[in-house]
Amino acid sequence: MLYGGLDLKLLRGRAPWTFRHRHADHESLKPAAEMPKIDYPKPDGVVSFDKLSSVYLSNTNHEEDQPVHLRLADTTVPVAHNLALYDAPEQRYCPAGVYEILCDEDGGNPRLQISAQNCLHCKTCDIKDPKQNITWVTPEGGGGPNYPGM
């Protein structure tokens, strides 16, 4: 805040330098085996809500027959790399629950399901995927979130 004030008041937003991160965001991800399991509390429906209730409020919509706007460069990466090493982080960083790992009834044959219809266009998956395997492209026809109360 102090720097922001200095930049605005003293330098008038024209600082002749740029602060940069030393690494891309996806490079900061640590393997699941090195991290503690977080037991998130269940949403109480009063001050916290489940993802899909919040997605519903966003009114997001995409034409059903449009080309998919979430593209995987390599379809084997989500299970062979992301699930194996990072416990499929796309299931947690996506705020809309677009990415889900589904398995057979016996727990075998894991696969990634992408419900692109629910996408909120935050582009987190494009930035955060550990192998940079997901590309978010602009959907056709102005589809996407449309918050009616804003």
List of residues contacting ligand SF4 (CB under 6 A) = 70, 94-96, 98, 119-125, 136
- Token pair listed for 47: 């001050």
* CB-nearer residue toward ligand SF4: 112 or 125: 125
Whether 117 and 62 have beta carbons less than 8 Å apart is answered as yes
* CB-nearer residue toward ligand SF4: 81 or 135: 135
Shortest Å, Cβ 15 to ligand SF4 = 31
Shortest Å, Cβ 109 to ligand SF4 = 23
Among 55, 57, 27, 28, residue whose Cα is nearest residue 117: 55
Shortest Å, Cβ 12 to ligand SF4 = 35
* CB-nearer residue toward ligand SF4: 86 or 136: 136
Question: Who contacts 97 (Cβ-Cβ below 8 Å, separation ≥6)?
Answer: 51, 52, 55, 91, 115, 118
Whether 133 and 73 have beta carbons less than 8 Å apart is answered as yes
Shortest Å, Cβ 117 to ligand SF4 = 10
* CB-nearer residue toward ligand SF4: 111 or 123: 123
Place of tokens 């109480």: 44
